[in-house]
Each structure stands twice: as C-alpha cells, then as structure tokens.
Amino acid sequence: MPEPHGLRGLVVDWGGVLTGDMRTAVETWAAADGVPLDVYVGIVRDWMGEPYGAEARFNPVHALERGEMTVPDFEVRLAEALTARSGRAFAAGGLLDRMFESFEHASDMSALVRRARAAGLRTGLLSNSWGNDYPRDGWDEMFDVVVISGEVGMRKPEPEIFEHTLRLLGLRPEECVFVDDLPHNVAAAAALGIVGVRHRSYAETLVELEALFGVPLS
C-alpha cells in the first residue's frame, strides 16, 4: 500500500462522524421532549466553563464521559437544571436514551472506514461516551481497536486517551490520522503529532483522507 506520508492508521470519532450531525440530533430530541434548546445549551456551556473547554469546578459532562458519574445521576442533575432554569418540571428517567435515539447512522462514513481497513490501514474508534449503548454490529470488521472514554477513565481532548489509543494500535503519532467533528479534539490530536482532520461532510473527509493516505477509499 502506498504510504506517501508514512501514514498507517486511521482513528475516527463516533458522534458527528459515524453518525449524522450532533446538533441536528440534539435539536430533534429537544423538540420531541419539549426541552427549550437555549436552556439546555446554556446548562452545558456553564458546566463546561468559560471559555468553552475550560475545566469547571465540577463538570458533570466530563465526569459522565470518564465514567465517574452514572447515567441516572447525570440525568437527575440535568433534569434538575432544566427544571430550575425553565420553570417547567422535567423527569430524569430516560433523558439520555431519548437523546441518543435521535442519532442517525452515517453509513457512508462507516463504509469508508471498512474500505480503509481493507486497504491495509490500522483502524480505531475513539469516542467520548455519555453512557450510551453503541450500535456495535459490524465493529469487528471495521476496527482493530475500540476506545470508549467511560470504559478507560479518560476523555478527549486529554492527551492520555490519544496516547492510549496509539499504544493499542502499535503506531507512532506521526503514523496516524484522527477524524473528529469538534475542532478542539482535532487540535489536541495535532498537538501530539497526529494528523488531524476536521469532519464536516463525507465528501470533504473522503477527499482529504485519499490525499493523505494515497489510496482510493471511495
């Protein structure tokens, strides 16, 4: 297999890469559950800290992603915050299940990953989990390595989770491409020497990966 830049591995995110757009999924969930979208966004922004991405004093999102908080506990925190800010009572049970029901599978991107592996690349999944059940059918054919944040106690954009993924793949940073829809995760990977690709659409990502790896992936 041609390796014009010495690249041998492809790691992809799940939500927003192997699924449809996350914003659309959240908007669909909010409309169905009667959640004021601006209130939800404000809660998450406050938990994340200012500026976005800074560590808040206690961040329920980060705790959930690392597996330090259970889904029921997170749902209680979220329901309480939604109720307090909107003035309307929200039940906690099933909030996240209903949110993730709105995520649509991106079959074109999954097929791209399968073709990359068939072309001889090492492939991996690196995802920040919100305690959700992943649709893992076919993953054995897609991935050499699967890293879920809540299962390893680390989360993107922490460098440790990228380093852990590279060790499992048996690759050096400069041998690997990482695809994510969130720019701060792409920047964190690039800071370690990994080639970062910001995912916006299947067509754009396909062109960029074919140029990087020097193999047809369509």
Average pLDDT over residues 175-183: 97
DSSP 126: E
Query: Domain check: are 93 and 117 in the same one?
Result: no
**End residue of a domain, out of 64, 80, 101:** 101
Q: Is residue 1 part of a domain?
A: no
DSSP 5: T
**End residue of a domain, out of 101, 127, 146:** 101
At 5 the pLDDT is: 65
Query: Domain check: are 50 and 86 in the same one?
Result: yes
Query: Domain check: are 72 and 55 in the same one?
Result: yes
Q: What is the pLDDT of residues 9-49, one digit of tens each?
A: 999 999 999 999 999 999 999 999 999 999 999 999 888 87
Query: Domain check: are 91 and 76 in the same one?
Result: yes
Query: Domain check: are 40 and 147 in the same one?
Result: no
The tokens of 96 are what?
A: 């996240």
At 114 the pLDDT is: 97
Q: Is residue 2 part of a domain?
A: no
Q: Of 114, 18, 113, 99, nearest to 64 (Cα)? A: 99
The H or E element containing residue 148 is: strand 145-148
In total, how many domains does the chain have?
2
Query: Domain check: are 109 and 191 in the same one?
Result: yes
pLDDT at 113 over 80: yes
Q: Which residue's structure tokens are 């409309």?
A: 31
Query: Domain check: are 115 and 172 in the same one?
Result: yes
With beta carbons less than 8 A apart as the criterion, state whether 81 and 43 touch: yes
Give the chain's mean pLDDT.
Answer: 92
- Provide the CA 131 distance to its chain's centre, in angstroms: 12
Residue 178 φ/ψ region, left for φ over 0, alpha for ψ in the -120 to 50 degree band, beta for the rest: beta
Q: What angle do CA 194, 6, 152 make, to 5 degrees?
A: 35
Q: Is residue 3 part of a domain?
A: no
Query: Domain check: are 188 and 119 in the same one?
Result: yes
Query: Domain check: are 140 and 125 in the same one?
Result: yes
Q: Is residue 49 part of a domain?
A: yes
Q: Is residue 218 part of a domain?
A: no
Q: How far apart are CA 165 and CA 80, in angstroms?
A: 36
Query: Domain check: are 141 and 183 in the same one?
Result: yes
Q: Is residue 4 part of a domain?
A: no
**End residue of a domain, out of 57, 77, 101:** 101
Query: Domain check: are 118 and 165 in the same one?
Result: yes
Q: What is the pLDDT of residues 43-96, one digit of tens each?
A: 998 888 754 444 545 789 999 999 999 999 999 999 999 999 999 999 999 999
At 3 the pLDDT is: 52
CATH classification at residue 153 = 3.40.50.1000
Q: What is the pLDDT of residues 159-175, one digit of tens each?
A: 999 999 999 999 999 99
Domain span including residue 161: 9-20+105-213
Query: Domain check: are 92 and 34 in the same one?
Result: yes
At 53 the pLDDT is: 46
Rounded to two decimals, the pTM is 0.91
